[in-house]
Structure 1
Amino acid sequence: MTMAQIVVRQLDEAVLEAVKLRAVANKRSTEAEVRAILSSAVGLSPTDSAGGGPVQRFSDFVGIASNKRSQQEIDDYVRSLRDEWER
């Protein structure tokens, strides 16, 4: 499945800050939060829009490893996996 990208120009800083706060509260990245907001706004669940299984939070992937690694190490590892996937 091909995934699309969009750019939102002239976004009010207050809106971006609100999305960032909402993302933190939901334990998601800002990008994941925007995807969830858009999916909800058009009446799709995040599962429907992703075309895969149920959406999982970062903590679901980390599990017990979070006790053995710093959050920064985990974040860096996930970013490296994402970067490899996007190539």
Structure 2
Amino acid sequence: MAMLTVRNLPEEVHRALRVRAAQHGQSMEAEVREILESAISPKGRVKLGSLLADMGRQAKLSDEEFAVFEQVRDETPARPVSFE
């Protein structure tokens, strides 16, 4: 795993990190890792299923049309295509 050294950290930031870590019951190192991970993770990440459901609502699908999405998929293996 990679390591990171932060130099010239203001004393008030260091103190605030120490307090925040204590409030969360973890080490300062774990607290900083958590802060960094949350800072770079995508905001408002939308999952494909949620996006498709929203599109269906916007399209004002009928109950019958929406029911198609809830049907159990056919698990029968596909047959090879014959071009002869």
TM-score computed with the length of structure 1 as normaliser: 0.46
Q: Which has the higher helix share?
A: 1
**Whose RCO is larger (CA < 8 A, sep 6+)?**
1
Q: Which has the larger radius of gyration?
A: 2
